[in-house]
């Protein structure tokens, strides 16, 4: 298990020698003690990334691609140990962790293929006086800040396109889950990525460490995945040096089920959209809007499936729902559910936290939820499905759009024209139409409104790590 900072290709302690504990959320016991990066360590990492930048930017795209492809192969060969590590420090069920490793590795494969496609363009100026030549250049040194809910995939979704574009990076992982990020640093070194191109800096002083980097003029981009609240702080800090920003922020996904939907398929989709990662996903269905004639049947079918999930330590192969990441997460879910119940909601299954050790919250389905309940306004980030009934398409769209978030929405209907019409009307960066899963390394992932700026994945994800340079040329 790696537990030091990874700077300039070397494992180093923090400048103060301080360390912090990483806990197993299933038991509360200490798994490891990790070096606690300081602002001065952060600036050392910026120096390493800056020193490596020119050579990496001028490395032929094909060579960069081959490094990324080796990273894919290595990650695939280490899948089971990485999945165990993710499950251990995050708590998610092993099956979820295995799914995450496969998803995370695909970013290396996809961007190995995209590294050679950072195409520019050439055009004749309308005046005919010159040519307009546009080339794509790497942005430069990038600070990457990632959350705890997908410790591997949120890292590779940034590292892979950054490296493919020719950027160098400093990754600041979440302090609840730094071990997976450090294992990724070792993997990338084994894949032959030169020293300084990837640096990994766990820290408990995330605000100070990231702030120090964003105020260093050598840093040209920050790519953040996490809460909208922290995203706002980083946008403000990035404004000082006009640093390029990509923001993948919170979500509050609506899940619309029309009366003509294939109901068993909608329940299958709901189980994925709600329960992937135990509900701890920005894409998690947060609000279920079901058309009145099928609402009772949908609630019954969903409750039956939710109730049957086996809850236990994530590392136990029989577990289908692991613990939440920490005590604060359980307390937040518990508060939201209690408030909904106090306002008249009914718990068809679940609805109260179990006694005993571990950060557990049971699968819960709530009906009769008041439309203004906080549980419909805030990200639940847990295994709770609140169900609201609607009677008309326009009402469903209004309810779905009544949020400051706009990451993803899900729609189930057999009527294709309605499906596409509603998909276009929904204020979301992504829509799952008769599908409970949208994440795909080959597709542009991201949100509108307060869910973010920019896209990760697809070709757009590569372009987000490049700047267009226009050269006016006469020949
Ligand atoms: P978070 O509290 O915003 O933390 C995310 C990252 O930011 C962590 O590395 C955290 O470090 C760091 N951080 C915290 N305060 C900071 C500050 N003042 N300055 C700089 N960095 C700071 O979010 P989280 O609780 O880890 O993750 C859950 C959130 O992420 C949810 O809102 C979820 O929707 C969102 N998310 C979005 C996407 C997407 O693609 N849109 C994907 C996954 C998750 P520490 O761990 O040390 O606090």
Please identify, by atom number, the ligand 1 atom nearest to the C-alpha of residue 226.
30
State the Cα–Cα distance between residues 426 and 405, nearest whole angstrom. Answer: 11
pLDDT in tens, 93-143: 999 999 999 999 999 999 999 999 999 999 999 999 999 999 999 999 999
For residue 283, the CA-to-ligand 1 centroid distance in Å is 14
The answer on pLDDT for 461 being more than 90 is: yes
Q: What is the pLDDT of residue 371?
A: 82
Give per-residue burial for 435-451: e unless 16+ CB within 10 Å, then b: ebebbebebbbbbebbb
Instruction: Calculate ∠ Cα 157-24-384, nearest 5°.
Output: 70
pLDDT in tens, 77-90: 999 999 999 999 99
Three-state DSSP class for 424? helix
Tell me which DSSP letter residue 395 carries: H
For residue 318, the CA-to-ligand 1 centroid distance in Å is 30
Is 248 an annotated catalytic residue? yes
Q: What is the pLDDT of residue 50?
A: 99
For residue 280, the CA-to-ligand 1 centroid distance in Å is 12
Single out the catalytic residue among 142, 167, 282, 359.
Answer: 282
Q: What is the pLDDT of residue 116?
A: 97
Q: What is the mean pLDDT of residues 444-448?
A: 98
pLDDT in tens, 181-214: 999 999 999 999 999 999 999 999 999 999 999 9
- Split at pLDDT 50, 70, 90, the class of 282 is very high
Percent of the chain at pLDDT above 90? 99
For residue 230, the CA-to-ligand 1 centroid distance in Å is 7
Q: What is the pLDDT of residue 443?
A: 98
Q: What is the mean pLDDT of residues 357-362?
A: 95
Q: Kindly report the protein residue whose alpha carbon is nearest to atom 43 of ligand 1.
A: 282
The answer on pLDDT for 349 being more than 90 is: yes
- Ligand 1 binding pocket mutation candidate from 89, 227, 237, 377 (most atoms within 8 A of CB): 227
Cβ neighbours for 282, distance < 8 A, ≥ 6 positions apart: 149, 225, 248, 249, 250, 251, 379, 407, 408, 451
pLDDT in tens, 158-178: 999 999 999 999 999 999 999
Q: Kindly report the protein residue whose alpha carbon is nearest to atom 46 of ligand 1.
A: 174
Q: What share of the chain is helix, strand, coil (3-state, %, to 5)?
A: 40, 20, 35
Q: Kindly report the protein residue whose alpha carbon is nearest to atom 10 of ligand 1.
A: 174
Q: What is the pLDDT of residue 185?
A: 98
pLDDT in tens, 1-46: 999 999 999 999 999 999 999 999 999 999 999 999 999 999 999 9
Q: What is the pLDDT of residue 370?
A: 87
State the Cα–Cα distance between residues 243 and 274, nearest whole angstrom. Answer: 35
* Residue closest to 60 by CA, chosen among 72, 68, 49: 68
* Residue closest to 410 by CA, chosen among 250, 232, 253, 209: 253
* Residue closest to 434 by CA, chosen among 277, 267, 297, 296: 267
Q: Which helix (H) or strand (E) holds 285?
A: strand 285-291
For residue 234, the CA-to-ligand 1 centroid distance in Å is 11
- Which two structure tokens, joined as six digits, stand for 423? 């998909």
Q: What is the pLDDT of residue 473?
A: 97
pLDDT in tens, 45-75: 999 999 999 999 999 999 999 999 999 999 9
- Ligand 1 binding pocket mutation candidate from 36, 147, 277 (most atoms within 8 A of CB): 147
Three-state DSSP class for 71? helix
Q: What is the residue-averaged pLDDT of the chain?
A: 97
In the structure, which protein residues have their CB atom closer than 6 angstroms to any atom of ligand 1?
A: 145-149, 154, 172, 174-176, 204, 206-207, 210, 225-227, 230, 233-234, 248-251, 282, 379, 407, 447, 452
Give per-residue burial for 52-88: e unless 16+ CB within 10 Å, then b: bbeebbebeeeebbebbbbbbebbeebbeebbbbbbb
Q: What is the mean pLDDT of residues 275-301?
A: 97
Contact between residue 264 and residue 367 where contact means Cβ atoms under 8 Å apart: no
The answer on pLDDT for 372 being more than 90 is: no
Please identify, by atom number, the ligand 1 atom nearest to the C-alpha of residue 203.
47
* Residue closest to 324 by CA, chosen among 279, 288, 289, 262: 279
Q: What is the pLDDT of residue 114?
A: 98
Q: Kindly report the protein residue whose alpha carbon is nearest to atom 26 of ligand 1.
A: 147
Q: Kindly report the protein residue whose alpha carbon is nearest to atom 40 of ligand 1.
A: 248
For residue 288, the CA-to-ligand 1 centroid distance in Å is 25
Alpha helices, H only, 129-255: 153-165, 178-190, 206-214, 228-240
Q: What is the mean pLDDT of residues 286-306?
A: 98
pLDDT in tens, 218-235: 999 999 999 999 999 999
Q: What is the mean pLDDT of residues 266-288?
A: 97
Instruction: Calculate ∠ Cα 236-180-328, nearest 5°.
Output: 60
Q: What is the pLDDT of residue 316?
A: 94
- Ligand 1 binding pocket mutation candidate from 224, 230, 278 (most atoms within 8 A of CB): 230
For residue 203, the CA-to-ligand 1 centroid distance in Å is 13
Single out the catalytic residue among 89, 100, 248, 280.
Answer: 248
DSSP calls for 301-316: HHHHHHHTPPBS-TTS
């Amino acid at each position: 298990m790696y537990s030091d900072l990874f700077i300039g290709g070397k494992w180093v302690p923090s400048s103060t020698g301080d360390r912090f504990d990483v806990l197993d959320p299933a038991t509360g016991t200490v798994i490891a003690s990790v070096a606690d990066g300081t602002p001065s360590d952060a600036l050392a990492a910026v120096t390493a990334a800056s020193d490596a930048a020119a050579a990496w930017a001028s490395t032929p795209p094909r060579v960069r691609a081959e490094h990324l492809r080796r990273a894919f192969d290595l990650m695939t060969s280490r899948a089971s140990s990485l999945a165990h590590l993710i499950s251990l420090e995050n708590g998610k069920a092993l099956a979820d962790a295995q799914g995450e490793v496969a998803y995370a590795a695909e970013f290396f494969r996809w961007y190995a293929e995209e590294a050679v496609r950072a195409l520019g363009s050439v055009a004749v100026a309308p005046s005919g006086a010159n040519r307009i030549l546009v080339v794509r250049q790497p942005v430069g040194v990038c600070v990457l800040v990632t959350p705890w809910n997908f410790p591997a995939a949120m890292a590779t979704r940034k590292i892979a396109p950054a490296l493919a574009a020719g950027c160098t990076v400093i990754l600041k992982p979440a302090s609840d889950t730094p071990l997976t990020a450090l294992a990724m640093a070792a993997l990338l070194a084994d894949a032959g990525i030169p020293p300084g191109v990837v640096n990994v800096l766990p820290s408990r002083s995330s605000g100070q460490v990231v702030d120090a980097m964003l105020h260093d003029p050598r840093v040209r981009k920050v790519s953040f995945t996490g809460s909208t609240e922290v995203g706002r702080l980083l946008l403000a800090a990035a404004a000082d040096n006009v640093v390029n920003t990509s923001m993948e922020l919170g979500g509050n996904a609506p899940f619309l089920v029309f009366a003509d939907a294939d109901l068993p398929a909608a329940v299958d989709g709901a189980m994925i959209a709600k329960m992937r990662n135990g509900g701890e996903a920005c894409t998690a269905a947060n609000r279920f809007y079901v058309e009145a004639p099928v609402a009772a049947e949908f609630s019954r079918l969903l409750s039956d499936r939710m109730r049957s999930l086996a809850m236990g330590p994530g590392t136990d192969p029989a577990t289908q729902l692991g613990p939440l990441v920490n005590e604060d997460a359980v307390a937040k879910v518990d508060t939201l559910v209690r408030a909904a119940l106090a306002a008249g909601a009914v718990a068809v299954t679940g609805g109260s936290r179990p006694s005993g050790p571990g950060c557990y919250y049971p699968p819960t389905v709530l009906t009769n939820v008041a439309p203004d309940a906080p549980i419909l306004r805030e990200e639940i980030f847990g295994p709770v499905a609140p169900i609201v009934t609607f009677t008309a398409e326009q009402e469903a769209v209004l309810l779905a759009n009544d949020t400051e978030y706009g990451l993803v929405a899900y729609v189930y209907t057999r009527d294709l024209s309605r499906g596409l019409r509603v998909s276009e009307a929904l204020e979301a960066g992504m829509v799952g139409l008769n599908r409970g899963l949208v994440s795909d390394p080959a597709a542009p992932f991201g949100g509108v409104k307060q869910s973010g700026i920019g896209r990760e994945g697809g070709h757009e994800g590569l372009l987000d790590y490049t700047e267009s340079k226009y050269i006016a040329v006469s020949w």
